[in-house]
Amino acid sequence: MRQLLKEAPKEIGKQKIKSPGLKIDVEDLQFIPEKFSHKDLLDPHWFWHKYFCRPKYRRRKNQKNLTPLEWSRFIYAIEALADTDTPAPTYQEFVQIHVQAMTTPAGHMWGAHGGVNFLTWHREYMAKLEARLIAINPLVTIPYWNWIEDRYIPPQLNNSADFTRWGITRGGSFNDTLLPTAAQHAALMTNTAFASFSSQLEASPFHNRLHGLVGGTMGTASSPADPIFWLHHGFIDKLFADWQVLNPAATHPNPSEVLKPSPIMTRTNAQVWSTLALGYVYA
């Protein structure tokens, strides 16, 4: 199409494309870029909004409410991103920076685990992974697993045949009686101090315990290799968002700190403080 327009007479810009009930100036046509840049792959939303739909908030849904088609889209996008032919940043790169965050001296300085950046770091981390999935399928969002109410591993991500294909392992048993209760959740949400709330949510019986109960790869620094990681942290992020509604005046103690490492992690704590600023809400 581009070549045809180049070779067409200059007057073509003033001509009309005729079809039943439709008249459009050629000069008003929008052409989809032939290639994504590296930056586009981490933030493709402008592309879809400009060419396909008006800006709106993405809805991250409870996994129990996903349709079979939505499950298929999510799993396919994860597997496509993990394909060896996928351009950077790849799924493996996302896993690797989590390993660095947990096991290297430099990574420990990022505050992603055991630090005040636990919630904001993982929010940015998930947002960038979701952006890569959207570049594969714009209808995909990361679902969340409410393990307080639904005290079992979602069966769509609990097939041993898939574990082999994904290169992950799971623990021998999943003891749901050790999951946090509704009363413990209610007590957590009464904590009005951000740093204290963050530490409480990260520790057992919440974030840390779930990693241990699922076991296998989820109990290691490579836990994002298991797709259940994203649903787990989706719920952690939802609890954070719920807490923010209850504490609207709360702020991060280091709002201008840029989350690391680049080029995947690029925003400040303040820039990821609101889910609306990142373009999504929880359903």
- The CA–CA distances, whole Å, from 62 to 6, 44, 144, 238, 282 equal 49, 24, 5, 10, 8
* Backbone φ and ψ of 17, nearest 5°: -90, 120
Please answer whether residues 121 and 110 qualify as being in contact, where contact means their C-beta atoms are separated by less than 8 angstroms. yes
More confident of the two residues 44 and 191? 191
Please check whether residue 154 is in contact with residue 62, taking contact to mean a CB–CB distance below 8 angstroms: no
Q: What is the dihedral of CA 170, 99, 149, 146, to 10 degrees?
A: -120
| pLDDT tens-digit series, residues 227-263 | 999 999 999 999 999 999 999 999 999 999 999 999 9
153-202: pLDDT as tens digits: 999 999 999 999 999 999 988 999 999 999 999 999 999 999 999 999 99
Separation of alpha carbons 235 and 147, rounded Å: 8
Place 8 in a pLDDT band, splitting at 50, 70 and 90.
very low
- Lowest pLDDT segment from 53-57, 92-96, 117-121: 53-57
The pLDDT > 90 percentage for the chain reads 77
- Residues 62-114 pLDDT 10s: 999 999 999 999 999 999 999 988 899 999 999 999 999 999 999 999 999 99
